[in-house]
Amino acid sequence: MLALIHLEEKLPLMHLLRLCRFVCGVVVLALGISQSVALAETDKDTIIVTNSHSWKPFAFSENGIAKGLLVDYWKLFSEINNTPVEFTLSDWNDSLVAMQEGGRIVHAGLLYSKSRDKYLDYVFPLFEITTTLYVVNDSEELKTQGVVPGMVIGVVSGGFEEEYLKMRYPLVATMGFDNNAALIQAARNGKVKRMLVDTQVATYYLLQQENSLGFVPIERMYKKMLYAAVPAGNELLMREIESGIKNIPPHEIDRIKQKWLNTSRTTKIPGWLWPFIGSALLLGAASYILLLKQAVNRKTRALKALNSKLEEYAFTDSLTGLMNRRGLDRVFASKRVKIMLKRGQLGVLMLDVDHFKKINDKYGHLKGDEVLNNLSKALNNYLREAVAISRIGGEEICLLLPAEDFHDLKVIADYICSFIVPQASQDGIGLTVTVSVGALLVDKDGKETSLEALLHHSDRLMYQAKEAGRNRVMLGCLSSQQHHRYSNPVSV
């Protein structure tokens, strides 16, 4: 620099310009170097992540691929912090040896112990883990025994379980296995009767087996945190891991825990099962609705039939099957009768069996019933034109018939008395049936057209027929109150 100043003093302006260009070049070069240093800082080196290759569900190797809760955790760490990681899973002891060799290496998760403290710096608590003593399920004695001196307990070599037992139960013998898979296999083969294993690991392994109850947990030994650890003294790596872990959102950690710690055979439902169950439920519901609809329709039809039957019963006389008084009311209210009334074409006939009491007394009540039945059948069979044939009293039958005038009414009444009524007689036992009839022609001039009134007038005519000697017809017209006596040739 002194030399440069010296030059500045001596050289003219041209040289001064050249000097300026040189200084600028030096500055640009310096900037370039500092930039490339900064680039090297962001382009992070790969971190080796180590753990066991048989510690399901925390870390394990399947077909050469690293899997498990801790593997997912460190993959997430890598993604979020843009730091490449590489998994080197091995037997447990080898993973600890690798940590002792140092370098840019992280132990994915392990328990704190004094012996490990010598070569590890623990960074961050990751997950809680419980460790349980398991015994074979076939011995009640083993199940109730607990930990006693001299007993042999299977453990993973170099694992915290081994260290824990030696420290807490120095008189207990341990049988070491390279990894959890080997330990559990030995337990299942009957080589060890007791084993001290992390609860989550045992649950995961045992649930994969057919006979999951081969081993039972008898005592929870401890509950501790799993830590991430770096080789002792590597401050820079420790800080990088610590700040990187803090960047991981808690819900992502929960998701990973959910994925690995809630895994069991019972929850493994194949993907196709849900749509299948959905379709089956839909189909079931649709069939149920259809069946329900059919059942409701069937029941409605049956109910309708029953209702109409009940209705018919309500309008029918139970002895003769003729319509009763209610039935007569219904027919009288019909359009057909209204038209007949309007046109003056309705005949109302009141029939009363003569000396019916005598028939009952002489032949018995049942024979009296039979007479009523036979008379009803004959009326039904031969009076097709009748609008109504109704039994309205004991032996009283009322007929509504079309009749335009007295002549019509006379012809019909004659036909009834001389042809239809005798059908109820039983000549073999000397039972002759005759009736007295009140036959009312409802003239179109007639003002009073209620059924009550018509029955009353026809009844009066019928009683006149009785008074006149029975077995005869008394004709009458409502408007004129004219009565025509008509005698039937048949006599009692």
Ligand X SMILES: Nc1nc2c(ncn2[C@@H]2O[C@H](COP(=O)(O)OP(=O)(O)OP(=O)(O)O)[C@@H](O)[C@H]2O)c(=O)[nH]1
Q: Are 98 and 119 in contact (CB under 8 A)?
A: no
**Site size toward ligand X, by CB under 6 A:** 16
For 348-363, give one letter per residue: b (16+ CB within 10 A) or e: bbbbbbbbbeebbeeb
Cα–Cα distance measured from residue 234 to residue 168, given in angstroms and rounded to the nearest whole number: 32
Cα–Cα distance measured from residue 408 to residue 46, given in angstroms and rounded to the nearest whole number: 124
| Least separation in angstroms between CB 304 and ligand X | 32
| Least separation in angstroms between CB 330 and ligand X | 22
Q: Is 207 exposed, middle or buried (0-12, 13-18, 19+ CB in 10 A)?
A: middle
Question: How would you classify the pairing of strands 85-90 and 47-52?
Answer: parallel
- The answer to whether residue 466 forms part of the interface with ligand X (CB under 6 A) is yes
The amino acid at residue 241 is I
| Least separation in angstroms between CB 322 and ligand X | 12
**What's the token pair of residue 476?**
């009458």
* Length, in residues, of the chain: 492
- The answer to whether residue 124 forms part of the interface with ligand X (CB under 6 A) is no
Q: Which is nearer to ligand X, 161 or 354 (CB)?
A: 354
| Least separation in angstroms between CB 299 and ligand X | 37
Catalytic residues: 395
Q: Which is nearer to ligand X, 91 or 352 (CB)?
A: 352
- The answer to whether residue 56 forms part of the interface with ligand X (CB under 6 A) is no
Q: Which residues 128-157 are close enough to bind ligand X by CB under 6 A? A: none
The region of 143-151, 323-331, 357-365, 410-418 touching ligand X under the rule CB under 6 A is: 357-365
As beta bridge partners, residue 477 has 441
Q: Which is nearer to ligand X, 259 or 357 (CB)?
A: 357
- The answer to whether residue 354 forms part of the interface with ligand X (CB under 6 A) is yes
Q: Which is nearer to ligand X, 56 or 466 (CB)?
A: 466
Task: Give the count of beta carbons closer than 10 Å to the beta carbon of residue 180.
Answer: 26
| Least separation in angstroms between CB 320 and ligand X | 9
The region of 170-178, 191-199, 368-376, 454-462 touching ligand X under the rule CB under 6 A is: 368-376
| Least separation in angstroms between CB 294 and ligand X | 45
- The answer to whether residue 362 forms part of the interface with ligand X (CB under 6 A) is no
The region of 100-108, 111-119, 281-289, 348-356 touching ligand X under the rule CB under 6 A is: 348-356
- The answer to whether residue 472 forms part of the interface with ligand X (CB under 6 A) is no
Q: Which of 343, 365, 407, 456 binds ligand X (CB under 6 A)?
A: 365
Q: Are 403 and 346 in contact (CB under 8 A)?
A: yes
Cα–Cα distance measured from residue 202 to residue 216, given in angstroms and rounded to the nearest whole number: 10
**What's the token pair of residue 388?**
């109504």
The region of 99-107, 114-122, 197-205, 351-359 touching ligand X under the rule CB under 6 A is: 351-359
Q: Which of 157, 212, 263, 360 binds ligand X (CB under 6 A)?
A: 360
Rounded to the nearest 5 degrees, what angle is found at the Cα of 406, between the Cα atoms of 402 and 411? 70
Q: Name every residue whose Cβ is closer than 8 Å to that of residue 454 and which is 6 or more positions away in sequence.
A: 348, 440, 442, 448, 478
The single-letter DSSP state of residue 63 is: T
Q: Which of 223, 239, 357, 456 binds ligand X (CB under 6 A)?
A: 357
Q: Name every residue whose Cβ is closer than 8 Å to that of residue 141 and which is 6 or more positions away in sequence.
A: none
- The answer to whether residue 464 forms part of the interface with ligand X (CB under 6 A) is no
- The answer to whether residue 355 forms part of the interface with ligand X (CB under 6 A) is yes
- The answer to whether residue 32 forms part of the interface with ligand X (CB under 6 A) is no
Q: Which is nearer to ligand X, 198 or 354 (CB)?
A: 354
H/E element, 229: strand 215-231
Q: Are 180 and 205 in contact (CB under 8 A)?
A: yes
| Least separation in angstroms between CB 435 and ligand X | 9
Q: Which of 352, 389, 410, 441 binds ligand X (CB under 6 A)?
A: 352
Q: Is 222 exposed, middle or buried (0-12, 13-18, 19+ CB in 10 A)?
A: middle
Q: Name every residue whose Cβ is closer than 8 Å to that of residue 463 and which is 6 or more positions away in sequence.
A: 436, 438
Contact flags string 382-421 toward ligand X, x per CB under 6 A = ------------xx--------------------------
Q: Which residues 299-338 are close enough to bind ligand X by CB under 6 A? A: 319
- The answer to whether residue 459 forms part of the interface with ligand X (CB under 6 A) is no
Binding site for ligand X (CB under 6 A): 319, 352-357, 360, 365, 368-369, 372, 394-395, 466, 470
